[in-house]
Homo-oligomer: A and B are copies of this chain.
Amino acid sequence: MATTTYTVSGMTCGHCVNAVTEELSQLDGVTDVRVDLASGAVTVTSAAPLDDTAVAAAVDEAGYQLVS
């Protein structure tokens, strides 16, 4: 089990949170996604460590940007 917290910019409302959550939840092995809208912190729990490129691509697909 791996838990990593990323920072995502551009989320402004609950719809944005849902869009990011949905995209990240589709990544292989992801079991939980928690988003703090105010800080942009996105905590992802997965069966194995995730590939940063895949995470960045999923965030981009949702329409936002992975900052770190």
Q: Interface on A for B, CB 8 Å cutoff?
A: 12-16, 19, 63
In Å, the complex CA distance between A14 and B14 comes to: 12
Chain B contacts for A16, CB-based, 8 A: 13, 15
In Å, the complex CA distance between A13 and B63 comes to: 11
Q: Give the number of times this chain occurs in the complex, counting copies.
A: 2
Chain B contacts for A63, CB-based, 8 A: 14
In Å, the complex CA distance between A46 and B55 comes to: 44
Chain B contacts for A19, CB-based, 8 A: 15
In Å, the complex CA distance between A63 and B13 comes to: 11
Chain B contacts for A12, CB-based, 8 A: 12-13
In the complex, what's the smallest C-beta–C-beta distance from A63 to chain B, in angstroms?
8
